[in-house]
Amino acid sequence: MCGIAGQYCFDGRSPDRELLARMSEQLIHRGPDGAGTEIRGCMGLVHRRLAIIDLSDDGLQPMTNEDRTLWLVYNGEIYNYVELREELIGKGHRFHSQSDTEVILHAYEEWGAGCLQRFNGMWAFALWDERSQQLFCARDRFGIKPFYYTKTGGSFLFASEIKALIEHPDVGKTPDDEILGTYLAWGVQDHSARTMFDGIFQLKPAHALIVTKDGPHSPYRYWDIMINSAVRSDARDEQETGRFLDLLRDATRIHLRSDVAVGTCLSGGIDSSTLAVLINNLIRDEAPASVSDRQKTFSAVFTDKRFNESRYIDEIVNATGVDSHRTEPAPEQLREDIDRLIWVQDEPFGSLSIYAQYCVMRLARKNVKVVLDGQGADELLAGYLAYLASYIRGLVHSFHIGAALWEIAGSFRIHRRFFYSAFGQLLVRRTRRNLLTVIVPPVDRYAGSLDEVLKRELCSTNLPALLHYEDRNSMAFSIESRVPYLDVRLVEYVASLPLNQKIRNGMTKTALRGAVLGIIPESVRCRVDKMGFVTPEEVWMKEMLRPFVLDVLCADSFRARPYWNADAVIKDYLAFLEGKSVYSPEVWRIVCTELWLRKFFDPRTGSSEGGPGSPLVSG
């Protein structure tokens, strides 16, 4: 896990060493264990190292092959590197390190761009081929690791984070109003190759990009997934859930491969709880050195019982005997952290729930260097309650009327309060979009049948943004975060399952719940509420953060923005404070956008701890 950056000059001139040094400095949190820069003619490569596998100097980057014709900078982990290394040795390749980085080099030598199909892991890398003067860039199938790029001044620039690219004086000077407006109106981000910085792009998940002296070619997709649209199959539940558990167990096993300590994020939900129990079983059966004899878990808890998951965390702790570490995010601390949080994330974020994750990563840093997390399970297994409506609609349209009626009955029996609340929120959000002055195309995350929705959520409208938050939150504290539910073998298997292994009788995550029967406590396995690492955002925005938010909304800069009607926003927020309207995420998104605009675009007359920019809150 590391930070990467580089510059390819198309006219043959040498890259700007000072620019590369500044880019490297902006990525130091991603790799505090070492730095490397290599300039090969018109190509400059930068690497910041977070040493996880092969801690010796043999793992330093930029890394080259035997004849020094290939040079690689890489961020991520190839979890099946042990098996690939053995295969490549059998084909005559010679290795000089124990790192997965060198496996990428030899895999490229052996299979060319086809090496991407062989990798099981998370990655963003740039590989310079000196013979062809070609830069080969690739990002993992789900976008777990970031890759940003731009073209300016006769050169191609890339980096792990946007803040490194804007070290170039001509890059990222204005927002991309359409992408920013889509975020403000619909709450989606990372759904496009465009970013909220005009002219800065991201390599989309499952895409690769070739850059030559003629410039960057069009990115191409190297992997895709199809979600089974069948409602049910002839296979017995025991067969399907048994195979699911076998794959998840092995995914967890290889995600523990590390030469440094590994811990687990434990929210108290079924996804992270399952990982914690599986890891405990692996400790007993295989004794992975990265975990030692007692697993460490990291959780966010709250005094407010409406948002506190301590009861479920305690269930897992009592069942496993893990070494439990907990933190309670507080609005007072958020006031101190918000400047750095905005800077860390690069772009505005959709809710304050990511602050809980930020606090968990800060806690984990004191004990481990790697954490496993349950991200991805909701999109794979239809874990969000909003997916129920898509499933029922698809059943009706495919003439499974009896099944649709059964699901309607089950959904309203279990989740009646959710549906009433969701309907009210739809009306409130529609009204709050009228506060905006931007015109953006509509985004309907839940249009179509369940299989269509899940593919969209996996590849564009939800998971990429969540992975963005997780990467930045973990790397802010030099922590590597791993997500076993996105093991490609598990993903492809779950995609092949019929829809009733995802939702059945109003219950989500059917396959997972069936697979862990008798493995995790029933109170956790049968949970129907959905929380995760959340914060009491509505309470904070109405009470403890009230002075902070009012300060933001009453500033001259806020009134000058072209994205909203400032007077209407203030009036709406005051109505919320007075109990005349209910809360919705649009309120935070507007506040967060104002803070982001101050941080990255307003005249840089001052500086703050997180990075360059004006102070976020005046006076």
Q: Provide the Cα torsion 585, 589, 433, 570; round to 10°.
A: 100
Residue type for 172, please?
G
Q: How many CB atoms lie within 10 A of CB 384?
A: 17
Residue type for 437, please?
T
b/e for 345-375, b at 16 or more Cβ within 10 A?
bbbbbbebbbbbbbbbbbbbbeebbbbbbbb
Write down the residue that tokens 């920013």 correspond to: 180
Write down the residue that tokens 């052996």 correspond to: 110
Are 599 and 613 in contact, with CB atoms under 8 Å apart?
yes
- Catalytic member of 2, 265, 359, 459: 2
Write down the residue that tokens 């609609």 correspond to: 393
Reference 53, options 224, 256, 305; nearest CA is 256
Residues in the chain: 619
Reference 527, options 421, 435, 415, 609; nearest CA is 415
**DSSP 8-state symbol, 438:** -
Q: How many CB atoms lie within 10 A of CB 619?
A: 5
b/e for 583-615, b at 16 or more Cβ within 10 A?
bbbbbbbbbbbbbbbbbbeeeeeeebebbebbe
- Edge-to-edge, what's the strand order for the sheet holding 201-202? 34-40, 43-49, 2-9, 155-159, 148-152, 201-202
Question: Where do runs of H (alpha helix) occur along 256-352?
Answer: 270-285, 310-320, 331-345
CA angle 503, 497, 525 (to 5 degrees): 45
Rounded-to-integer distance, Cα 295 and Cα 312, Å: 17
- Supply the Cα-derived Rg of the chain in whole angstroms: 24
What tokens were used for 94? Answer: 């010679």
Q: How many CB atoms lie within 10 A of CB 471?
A: 25
2 is catalytic: yes
Write down the residue that tokens 């500086």 correspond to: 607
Strand partners for 480: 370
Rounded-to-integer distance, Cα 23 and Cα 148, Å: 13
Rounded-to-integer distance, Cα 488 and Cα 350, Å: 27
Q: How many CA atoms lie within 13 A of 21 on its CB side?
A: 3
What tokens were used for 525? Answer: 């396995």
Rounded-to-integer distance, Cα 93 and Cα 105, Å: 10
Would you name the residues annotated as active-site residues? 2
